[in-house]
Structure 1
Amino acid sequence: MEASILLVGGDDFLSTLLNRIRNLVSCTVEVAPTPSEAVPLIQAQQPDLIILQGNLPGGLELCRQIKDQARLAWIYCIVLDSPVQMLERAWLDRNWEMDCRIEALENGADAYLWLPQNDPHGEILEKEILLQQDRLLRAQIVSGLQMVKNHRELMRTNDILSAIALSDPLTELNNRRALDWELPRQVANARARAEPLSLVMLDVDYFKAINDTYGHPVGDRALQLISSRLRHNLRFRDTLFRYGGEEFVIILSNTDQQEALLVARRLCRLISDQSFAIEENLDLNLTISAGTASLKHVDDSRGASLLQRADQNLLQAKAAGRNRVFSCLDTSPQPDAENVPAARENE
């Protein structure tokens, strides 16, 4: 992808620098005459690199604002001063340059360049000096773009590692670590928006018998098929996690107790109504038990008490005979499949 550069400065600064940069590096260049006009461009497009006119009113404040925002701080900022005429005395010129450099770096600039256009007598600088300036400008831009590229590659690597860490390799569902991260966020969102939030905790009935009878590869395949059936029958706002072993948790955002009970019952029927083709000559009739719970104002911010209630209701469903749902709305949980198999291959 071609690099993107934003130039922020007055008309003379922009006209001088625009073609100069395009001749030095392959990039797309946007311009903004003032910091206030630059802000929406930076927020929307997030350019790789910004070159700011050093003496532009508000320019250094813009640089500091960018670096103070975590999501924008990676943008490489170069402050560039291009005085029309150098001072008569070289030591005054050096002091001026040093003061400008210090102020730019103190305001978060990644680099500062001093590229005067004329000599002390107002004459255009020699061609060799201008070429040297172009080399310096190009080298600084390339260096900045390389740092941005390295940052983005690191972020992509971190995203991949995070996805691996939060994903269950067998079922490709979100794992328990992902639930520990997501549930507090959902609790906070529900409370901020005054919306209901519910959980469903599911457990595959008699799963140990599958592993003991057919072996762990068959058990693993059964979990994959169950996960797939659950995942493809959830609503868009539901989030499915493999909690561990044969247990699953579903976060139901904007869902009250009654709706959660209906969702859980529907999922139980989806599992029990159709057998699972594990192998060419092996179909298993499987069922699940489920417990639901809904967020209360007394629940902790991490959702631990909410999860614990869903787990307790799941235990109630299993104690009542399995293949059913239990919630705080139930007084005596009933089977959620029309016909509970009298004998099943996995029992």
Structure 2
Amino acid sequence: MSARVLVVDDVPANVKLLEARLSAEYFDVLTASNGTEALAMCARAECDIILLDVMMPDMDGFEVCRRLKSNPATHYIPVVMVTALDSSSDRVRGLEAGADDFLTKPVSDVVLIARVRSLTRLKMMTDELRMRAITSLEIGVQAPERSAVADTGKGGRVLLVDDRPSSYERLVPVLTGEHAVDLETNPSEALFRAADGDYDLLIVSLGLDNFDGLRLCSQARSLERTRHVPILAIADADHNTRLLRGLEIGVNDYLLRPVDKNELLARARTQIRKRRYTDHLRDNVQNSIEAAITDALTGLHNRRYMESHLATLAEQASSRGKPLAVMMLDIDFFKSINDNYGHDAGDDVLREFAVRVRKSIRGIDLACRYGGEEFVIVMPETDMHVAGMVAERLRRSIAGEPFVVNKGEKRIEVTISIGLSTLETKGEAVADVLKRADVALYRAKHDGRNRVVANAA
């Protein structure tokens, strides 16, 4: 796994050392000697992760990090502060500025590479989600960047897995000050509880009695319902090897005992902010997918989806020797509804029509808005006789009760005309099936509307 790493340090010797370490692991290394230069490079999206020195002349690392994390265009880039400052207050200051981690010089090669790899994996996942969600801006779905920048990371749901009273009795009160905290002292039950709890963060002690905390972390990563929940591991100071292994299997962050309460809160907030941001991205992707295949007014599938899915259903019907019916529907005199009652009333009719359609068909049937006031229903494993019965039931459902429009002010009579066709030969083109249904629909309208006409071939 390669990535572009930006090293920001005003001391050339430090830059060369980090550049050599990272290049040896096949990372692409970029360098900047001051904060202004680093901000400009990040604004051009030239890097995947930043190794940032704190003590620099023009602008210190804390300020650079604050600017990066407050900018919607750069806030998602992971920042690791690398500095000689080693006090807990310095780490908290860096984390509160938005840093994803804080490494103290001299940094072990193993720790450095493990941290860069871990954050790079998360960055690549975020990049993919961001790329998929780009179209959400075009369809009116709000991008989550600004809300992510403003998010405090507080008010999360946290599950703490710890079986040492001396540990959890200290941690729970600290976390409760900012989050809703559940404690699980039985590690064997922790995975089930995590899966059912919709948590924003899992905090796992790696010093569990008679239970491997890393195995729990691995199981959480492999389970669909907990795969994307961030994990913060807590370990004893001599557990470096286990922590590095944890980063490889998907642990997002870690703390060493004795745990500083301010650092605990800062790291928890960071992980919760990331969780909320990626959740927003996934929601945008899902909304984009739904918008691409769904008619916004009626909630039915759109023509694009129908044409693609109909071909698949027809192929399945042919290969299995099963019937397939297609129903084409048109709302009678729809233009006059718009002319006489207004386009809002026309929209009311279309929405209510979609509701009645859903109530009249099966779950396996595919209902689509074909265009304007024309609709198509595809019915797998349905012959002409059954299709005719369904069509007649739907026709009666539409004609049997007036449609309420204009916020309940008016009730108008609505009828539909329906044309039916079926897949007649194995491998027949779906365009031919639709054409026959369209011809049957034309006959229904020509013969007086408000009726069902079968296959006009």
8 Å CA contact retained: 1:77, 1:109: yes
Q: Which residue of 2 aligns with 1:111?
A: 253
Q: Which residue of 2 aligns with 1:203?
A: 329
1:259 aligned to which of 351, 375, 386: 386
1:200 Cα shift?
4.0
Question: What's 1:302 paired with?
Answer: none
State the shift of 1:101 in Å: 2.6
Closer/same/farther in 2, CA of residues 312 and 23 from structure 1, 3 Å limit: closer
Shift of 1:286: 4.8
The AA in structure 1 aligned to 2:388 is L
- How does 1:84-233 map onto structure 2 within 5 Å? 96-116=238-258, 133-179=260-306, 200-204=326-330, 210=335, 222=346, 224-232=348-356
Residues 63-86 of structure 1: per-residue CA shift (max 9 Å, x gap) = 223334555322010111136xxx
* Identity in percent: 22
Superposition RMSD on alpha carbons, in Å? 4.6
Q: Does structure 2 retain, via aligned residues, the 8 Å contact 1:264–1:325? A: yes
1:151 and 1:281, CA in 2 relative to 1: closer, same or farther beyond 3 A?
A: closer
Partner of 1:288: 417
Is 2:364 the partner of 1:250? no
Runs (5+) with no aligned partner, structure 2:
1-153
Q: TM-score, normalised by structure 2?
A: 0.50
User: Shift in Å at residue 224 of structure 1?
Assistant: 4.8
Find the partner of 1:33 among 182, 186, 195: 186
Which residue identity lines up with residue 204 of structure 1 in the other structure?
D
Q: Find the aligned partners of 2:184 and 2:397 in 1 and give their Cα distance.
A: 58
Q: Secondary structure at the match of 2:301?
A: coil
**When the two structures are superposed, what TM-score results if normalisation uses the length of structure 1?**
0.63
After superposition, the C-alpha distances for 1:201-231 in whole angstroms (9 at most, x for unaligned) are 32327769x48x9869968855752552352
Distance 2:261 2:326 in 1: 64
Distance 2:417 2:236 in 1: 73
Is there any run of 5+ residues in structure 1 with no aligned partner, and where? Answer: 84-95, 117-129, 300-304, 334-347
Q: Does 1:78 align with 2:193?
A: no
Does 1:61 find its partner at 2:215? yes
**Secondary structure of residue in 2 paired with 1:103:** helix
Structure 1 or 2, whichever has the larger Rg, is 1
Cα distance in 1 between the residues matched to 2:315 and 2:164: 48
Local SS of the residue matching 1:232: helix
Structure-1 separation of matches of 2:333 and 2:178: 62
Contact 1:207 1:246 in 2 (8 A): no
CA pair 252-220 structure 1, distance change in 2 beyond 3 A: farther
Deviation track 1:221-279 (CA, whole Å, cap 9, x = no partner) reads 55752552352252373553212233212355786654332111222344456787999
Contact 2:418 2:452 in 1 (8 A): yes
Distance 1:306 1:272, change over 3 A: farther
* 1:107-146 CA distance string (max 9 Å, x none): 1100021113xxxxxxxxxxxxx6xx11111111111111
1:317 aligns with 2:444: no
**Deviation digits for residues 139-186 of structure 1 (CA, Å, limit 9, x no counterpart):** 111111111122233334444444444443444543234546876898
Give the Cα–Cα distance (whole angstroms) in 2 for the partners of residues 217 and 167 of structure 1: 26
**How has the CA–CA distance of structure 1 residues 321 and 259 changed in structure 2, closer, same or farther, with 3 Å as cutoff?**
closer
Q: Residues 24 and 134 of structure 1 are in contact (CA less than 8 Å); yes or no, is this contact kept in structure 2?
A: no
Mapping for residues 10-25 of structure 1, pairs under 5 Å:
10-12=163-165, 15-25=168-178
Aligned-partner residue type, residue 139 of structure 1? A
Distance 1:276 1:231, change over 3 A: closer
1:49 aligned onto 2:201: yes
What does residue 27 of structure 2 align with?
A: none
1:124 aligned residue? none
Q: Assess if the C-alpha contact under 8 Å between 2:398 and 2:415 holds in 1.
A: yes
Partners of 1:79 and 1:111 within 8 A in 2: yes
Shift of the alpha carbon at 1:289? 2.3
Cross-structure match for 2:111: none
Task: Please give the alpha-carbon distance, in whole angstroms, between the structure 1 residues aligned to 2:251 and 2:312.
Answer: 35
- SS in structure 2 of the partner of residue 5 of structure 1: strand
Instruction: Report the CA distance between 1:31 and its aligned residue.
Output: 0.7
Equivalent residue, structure 1, for 2:104: none
What is the CA deviation profile of residues 180-204 of structure 1, one whole-angstrom value per residue up to 9, with x for unaligned ones?
Answer: 687689899999xx9x885543232
